Amino acid sequence: MRNRYTYIFPLCVILFTLTSSFGDNNACKNIGSNIGFVKTQTEKAIKTNDINIAKYHAYKALNAIEKSKKQFKECGCYTAELSLNKGLEHLKNATKETSINNAKSLLKKALKNTEGSLHALDEYNTSTFPTNVLAMNTKSSKRIDLNKNKILHHKIDKTLVNFESSLHKVVHTLECEKARKYAQTVFDNCEEKLLNEDLSEAKKYYNLRIKEIVSKALDKLNNCSN
């Protein structure tokens, strides 16, 4: 029962700056996924008591931050980028430590920076200009691209109806812990895929939507003991 996709990511909004430029909607979505991956890997590094395993997860987090640089530029959320870069320094220092306790101290600082980055990105995404401002400031070529993406996204959403139905059955028929592990595996695999800078627009959106769908299932499954 191994599938390859998952977790949630808030739908980001196209944000225009006062200079009439705007952040790329999909770039902001991808950034959110990448930061989520950094957070997950940092948390895994903190949980282990093996310095080598901690460094392994820290390196994976560092790699994700490096891959995010181009998308940060396209998205335009500099506050989130600044916070994540502070975390990057703590992660780098953690990989140089020989003591697990010292490494964990640095990793916890990195985690706070990562959470701050996610918070900044969320605030950035939920700040939006009125629709009439959007129409006035958007170049015709950008409007065409947005329309093409809208059509593409609609087609992908239709193909995911069966997946959502199947996941619903998993949540309500499979033993809670098994269903949760399955959903978490989907999440982890999806985060890995979204780190690939060569993904097409269709595959990026597909993975992001899968994450959003599965996140709802995870919300129901995270407290299996209850």
pLDDT > 70 fraction of the chain, expressed in percent and rounded: 77
Highest mean pLDDT among 86-100, 126-140, 159-173, 179-193: 86-100
| Spatial separation of the C-alpha atoms in residues 91 and 152, rounded to whole Å | 38
| Token pair for 45 | 């590094």
pLDDT at 17: 31
pLDDT of residue 138 exceeding 60, the answer is no
pLDDT digits (tens, 9 = 90+) for 70-116: 778 788 888 888 889 899 999 999 999 999 999 999 999 999 999 99
Is the predicted pLDDT of residue 215 greater than 90, yes or no? Answer: no
* Calpha distance 42→80 (Å, rounded): 17
Give residue 145's pLDDT: 56
CA triple 33-34-40, angle to 5 deg: 90
**Chain centroid, CA 81 distance in Å:** 14
Confidence of residue 9 (pLDDT cuts 50, 70, 90): very low
Averaged pLDDT of the chain: 77
The conformational region for residue 83 under phi > 0 = left, psi -120 to 50 = alpha, else beta, is: alpha
Q: What is the pLDDT of residues 147-158, one digit of tens each?
A: 676 777 788 888
Global model pTM greater than 0.75: no
- Cα 24 from Cα 90, distance rounded (Å): 28
More confident site: 95 or 133: 95
Lowest mean pLDDT segment, chosen from 24-33, 71-80, 129-138, 188-197 = 129-138
Residue 164 CA to residue 166 CA, distance in Å, equals 5
